[in-house]
Amino acid sequence: MLLLLLHFLMCVSPSVLGQLEEFPFEDDIDIDSDFGLEIASRRVPRQVKTILTKETKPHIQELSIKTTIISRYAFTAVYCAMLNRHSAATEGVFQFQIPADAFVSNFTMIVGGRIYQSEVRPKEKRVKQENGKPKKKESGDTSPQSEVEVFRMAVNIPGKNRAVFLLTYEELLQRRLGRYEHVTSLRPMQLVSRLSLDVTIVDHSPITDLKVLPLQNGRSNGASNAATGPNAPNTPVKPEPPIPTVINNEKNVCKITFRPNIVQQARITTNGILGDFVIRYDVQRDMGIGDIQVLNGHFVHYFAPKDLPVVPKNVVFVMDNSASMLGKKTRQTKDALFTILRDLRPGDHFNFISFSSKIKVWQPGRLVPVTPLSVRDAKKFILSLVPSGATNINGAIQAGSSLLRDYLLGPDSNPNSVSLIIFLTDGRPTAGEIQSMAILGNTRSAVQEKFCIFTIGIGNDVDYRLLERMALENCGMMRRIPEEADASAMLKGFYDEIGTPLLSDIRINYTEDSVQYVTQHLFTNYFNGSEIVIAGKLTNQSAESLHVQVTASNNDKSIILETDVPLRHREAETGKHVKAATAAMAAGAKAPGSGATQDLGVALGSLVEDFAERVWGFLSVKEGLRSRLRSQTSEEREEHTHQTTNLSLAYHFLTPLTNIVVEKPEVLTDGTMAQAPTITPGAGESVSPANELPGDADDRRPQKSDGKPDRQTSSLSNMIGKAERKPAKKSITISKTSADGDPHFVVEFPLSKLTVCFNINGEPGHILRLVSDHKYSGVTVNGKLIGAPAPPGSHKQQRTYFSTITIVVDRPRRAYIEVTPKKVILDGRDRMVLPCHSTVAVDSGALSVAVVGKSNVTVTVGGNISFVILLHQYKNPAPYQRDHLGFYISDSKGLSHNCHGLLGQFLYQEVGLAELPAQEGLKPSPVLKVKDRSVPVVQKSRRIYSGTQSVDCWFARNNAAKLIDGQYEDYLMSHMFDTGDGPDGTNRV
């Protein structure tokens, strides 16, 4: 997917739309009414009123956060409405903390009634600003923190007006210590009139051990409380969730809401820093191959075996003992090590190394087995350490590696044990070798891929890039501990994660000819309480099953697990799973409360339906970033950078390689805003016949049954901008030349007075070139297939439909439209997303779009090229039904005679009908004369225009063999925006 402009931009409830209208009120504001306080039969305390009245910055009227977690993948949408109560323009700052492992996937502003849609761009090398010209666009600022990042955007809000900020981000929850943890930061920095948080958890397996913790308060500058992460022990506070949390847990679906009114917020804090809302849970799992989910040509495999014997470990603790560790850091580190010593198991072997300017080894030349005596002596060694001197990181790693390597070569080593170094420091290298690249090279040479290094950085003076690369290059992990954190708790928690190895040398394989682009599937170790997640694309979706094999080592034996996953059955199960998520969100939308929260739930539904592909994209980007960090040469680094940047752009992820850029509105001296793109609301919600185009709106607003203007449509024009009314146009008849249904292709030849039809039996995930005229008119149309099981009793194994149609235009400038059954993404002069259930028209220069809600989308290019896309949507679909699209060519005058594609090649073609001489006992066989080819045909009838009309046609069998130029495979495109004109283009005919 590319951009997501939240679904509610065209479908928000009247209550929310009212907030977006221009806001006429007097300077003297009544606090109770203006701030929308929802406190029945109670007066707002005087001190709360005082706080609100003295607030000089724009007031946050509403902050609504909606999260849907489907199979441990979390989609979060944030809606923030800000009111400038003053007459003069005032700067409003939208600031929201997101988890460090998450990716922002969209940001949109609505200021002064105009939409400002963000765009993800590759990061460029910094260049000097020319001529001191002010920037017209600004990137979303994400400041790295230990556990979170802060997304920040400042914008001028016109006097007595509102700004709305819309943010979405995605993350894959990691399982640590046998639980998943989802954290939402609630730090609006002021009291909020309407504050709501809704979290819906839907999983294939029953949800267990669900807990909502008390609000975890951390630093006000953005970092999470160190003792509240997944590594922290149970906090010694009351376990009750914050008031007024409501939890509804029903086996596979859990709904959690937190909606404190303004008084309840003030009781927690008056500065708006409520803290982190933390949810922890696990899912029920069985022994075996794990949970595999299949959806729309992608699969996700969750592997977390249980009840396995613990593998013995060999561990060397390498601890910084330099002068900077003096005081609290050393005390907390020693406390953690004492606790860890108690948790070492019989069968484990260990040693300690302390380093500063000098290296000190507790037991030189060996690893010590765990006994009461060795544990006691180790404690004495730890107690005797007194911090002093500089930081010799290279020497410490070399000493630890040599110690562990020599032990593994000795006679006492267990070949099935797991070996690791746990390295802790609070500083940068200041003694011995201090160049990071040299240290990394020396570490690789010393480790020789025989064990893993896990690194821990304490405080703000650490070279975290060095520690991260050191861990990544040596199959380990890196963990940060903030300066003011409870280091003892976090160190113990980190050790608990890696202290119980269950498997080593894990390899997960799938049927070779059925999958491609599989994310990481080789793992050095699996630790108790964690989870391995793999995602991939299916290349052969017609296959009945997917063979999965897991091989690993455990203690003193090898383990092989394998099974055949029934793909269609699993996809049907995953489909039910997704429907449960969307149904849960729809139910939330009907509940009383914030209109914004309701529509955020609807918006997330379109993303949830693609969750398997989103997981694949998320993991692929994460893997690319790790590979880039591990790169040994500039060429290798450049290749990983290029691949990962392209993936980030494709999924609209804000990553270290991309920026989110959004145009900032100009507030003119008269208080007006810059002119917005022309967007005309359609004439009500009435649906035109499927084979006709709607006329544009007239000057009348649609009327409700009570005679009053329809608030949703009238508010819509205020929300988007100044709508230009155009004269009504007559309905235009759609051509029969089309690709609809399974898909069935129909081609009309007016000159020959013939209609020809054919089928294309493609595979789900295939992208077909429908119209290709890039070199001449600059227009390309591609369609992506989605699979569905055949109805009961059908002779087919599966059916395919168009799930996405993309129209790319290259003149007079690059633009595109992407249409799905639920939304239309238009990227022309401005980037915007229109929902398919509303009626609206948009003119964006090179392209114009008219959407008739729940019926069709008309795309016009340059006035003489027009396509109509029919929307086939099911209210209560059967298992074999899929929402899909039909593609019709309405006006082809602007396309050149060189136009090609499965439909485009016939636009200027003439055909003739002839009969082959009858053979003995048989009737004459009709053939179609196309160019110099003779194509056997039979007569058939096709239903088109959503089944409202039938057309008689001459049918060409066998994937249109001989009818089309070349073979079916020649019309497969590499991606939805492939125009076939570049070195990677697929235009072969």
* Top-confidence residue, 283 or 605: 283
Q: Same domain for 295 and 320?
A: no
Across residues 825-848, what is the average pLDDT?
Answer: 77
Reported as a single tens digit per residue, the pLDDT across 399-435 is 999 999 999 988 888 888 999 999 999 989 999 999 9
Tokens 């009793």 belong to 793
Cis peptide before 665 (omega within 30 of 0): no
pLDDT, averaged across the chain:
79
Looking up residue 478, the CATH number of its domain turns out to be 3.40.50.410
* Top-confidence residue, 764 or 507: 507
What pLDDT is recorded for position 646? Answer: 86
Across residues 690-704, what is the average pLDDT?
Answer: 31
The candidate with the shortest Cα–Cα distance to 762, out of 780, 781, 742, is 742
Torsion of CA 43, 46, 47, 51, to 10 degrees: 90
Residue 69 maps to a domain? yes
27-41, 358-372, 740-754: which is most confident: 358-372
What pLDDT is recorded for position 919? Answer: 63
Q: Same domain for 437 and 515?
A: no
Reported as a single tens digit per residue, the pLDDT across 907-919 is 988 888 888 776 6
Across residues 577-583, what is the average pLDDT?
Answer: 76
Indicate the residue among 619, 635, 661 that finishes a domain.
Answer: 661
What pLDDT is recorded for position 250? Answer: 82
| Distant-in-sequence, close-in-space partners of 878: CB < 8 Å, separation ≥ 6 | 791
Across residues 282-295, what is the average pLDDT?
Answer: 86
Residue 423 and residue 437: Cα distance in Å, rounded? 18
Is it the case that residue 2 has pLDDT exceeding 80? no
* Top-confidence residue, 429 or 679: 429
Residue 698 maps to a domain? no
Is it the case that residue 319 has pLDDT exceeding 60? yes
Residue 128 and residue 548: Cα distance in Å, rounded? 53
What pLDDT is recorded for position 231? Answer: 43
Across residues 150-161, what is the average pLDDT?
Answer: 88
Tokens 């052969």 belong to 540
What pLDDT is recorded for position 720? Answer: 29
In this prediction, residue 3 has a pLDDT band, given cuts at 50, 70 and 90, of very low
What pLDDT is recorded for position 130? Answer: 36
Contacts for 925-933 with beta carbons within 8 Å, 24 or more apart?
Answer: 926/954, 928/754, 928/756, 928/954, 928/956, 928/963, 930/962, 930/963, 933/962, 933/963
Q: Which two tokens stand for residue 591?
A: 């509940």
Q: Same domain for 334 and 449?
A: yes
Q: Same domain for 339 and 463?
A: yes
In this prediction, residue 38 has a pLDDT band, given cuts at 50, 70 and 90, of very low
What pLDDT is recorded for position 794? Answer: 67
Q: Same domain for 296 and 262?
A: no
Reported as a single tens digit per residue, the pLDDT across 174-215 is 999 999 999 999 999 999 989 999 999 998 888 999 999 999
What pLDDT is recorded for position 520? Answer: 92
Which stretch of 530-534, 759-763, 891-895, 918-922 has the lowest confidence by average pLDDT? 918-922
Measured in whole angstroms, the distance separating CA 348 from the mean position of its chain's CA atoms is 41
In this prediction, residue 971 has a pLDDT band, given cuts at 50, 70 and 90, of very high
Residue 494 maps to a domain? yes
The candidate with the shortest Cα–Cα distance to 20, out of 74, 90, 91, 82, is 82
Q: Same domain for 551 and 490?
A: no
Residue 518 and residue 536: Cα distance in Å, rounded? 4
Residue 577 and residue 215: Cα distance in Å, rounded? 30
* Top-confidence residue, 957 or 379: 379
Contact between 408 and 416 under an 8 Å Cβ cutoff? The reply is no
What pLDDT is recorded for position 683? Answer: 32
Is it the case that residue 824 has pLDDT exceeding 60? yes
Instruction: List strands edge to edge, sheet with 207-212.
Output: 175-176, 179-186, 275-283, 207-212
Residue 199 and residue 68: Cα distance in Å, rounded? 6
Which stretch of 757-766, 788-797, 830-839, 929-938 has the lowest confidence by average pLDDT? 788-797
Which stretch of 13-27, 107-121, 540-554, 939-953 has the lowest confidence by average pLDDT? 13-27
Q: Same domain for 472 and 398?
A: yes
Is it the case that residue 471 has pLDDT exceeding 60? yes
Residue 717 maps to a domain? no
Enclosing domain of residue 190: 55-123+146-218+239-284+587-611+646-661
Q: Same domain for 559 and 591?
A: no
* Top-confidence residue, 689 or 541: 541
Indicate the residue among 499, 514, 535 that finishes a domain.
Answer: 499
Residue 598 and residue 593: Cα distance in Å, rounded? 8
Q: Which amino acid makes up residue 961?
A: A
Is it the case that residue 651 has pLDDT exceeding 80? yes
110-119, 579-588, 764-773: which is most confident: 764-773
Reported as a single tens digit per residue, the pLDDT across 333-357 is 999 999 999 999 999 999 999 999 9
Which stretch of 187-191, 389-393, 676-680 has the lowest confidence by average pLDDT? 676-680
Could you give the count of Cα atoms lying within 13 Å of 747 in the half-sphere of its Cβ?
A: 28
In this prediction, residue 884 has a pLDDT band, given cuts at 50, 70 and 90, of very high
Residue 723 and residue 674: Cα distance in Å, rounded? 14
Reported as a single tens digit per residue, the pLDDT across 496-544 is 999 999 999 999 999 888 888 899 999 999 999 999 999 998 887 677 8
Residue 332 and residue 481: Cα distance in Å, rounded? 12
What pLDDT is recorded for position 243? Answer: 84
Using a pLDDT cut of 90, give the percent of the chain over it.
40
What pLDDT is recorded for position 769? Answer: 95
β-bridge partners, 860? 848, 866
Residue 574, φ and ψ in degrees, nearest 5: -65, -35
Residue 48 maps to a domain? no
Residue 477 maps to a domain? yes
Reported as a single tens digit per residue, the pLDDT across 543-554 is 788 999 999 988
What pLDDT is recorded for position 159? Answer: 83
Looking up residue 540, the CATH number of its domain turns out to be 2.60.40
Indicate the residue among 475, 499, 523 that finishes a domain.
Answer: 499
Q: Same domain for 928 and 800?
A: yes
Residue 339 maps to a domain? yes
Measured in whole angstroms, the distance separating CA 944 from the mean position of its chain's CA atoms is 36
Burial of 364 (0-12, 13-18, 19+ CB in 10 A): exposed
What pLDDT is recorded for position 969? Answer: 86
Measured in whole angstroms, the distance separating CA 621 from the mean position of its chain's CA atoms is 11
Q: Same domain for 767 and 865?
A: yes
Is it the case that residue 472 has pLDDT exceeding 80? yes
Is it the case that residue 317 has pLDDT exceeding 90? yes
Please count the structural domains in the chain: 4
The sign of the torsion formed by the CA atoms of 951, 953, 958, 960 equals negative
Q: Same domain for 490 and 378?
A: yes
Residue 233 and residue 226: Cα distance in Å, rounded? 11
What pLDDT is recorded for position 647? Answer: 87
What is the chain's alpha carbon radius of gyration, rounded to the nearest angstrom?
A: 31
Across residues 368-392, what is the average pLDDT?
Answer: 94
Reported as a single tens digit per residue, the pLDDT across 561-573 is 989 988 888 888 8
In this prediction, residue 40 has a pLDDT band, given cuts at 50, 70 and 90, of very low
Q: Same domain for 256 and 322?
A: no
Residue 103 maps to a domain? yes
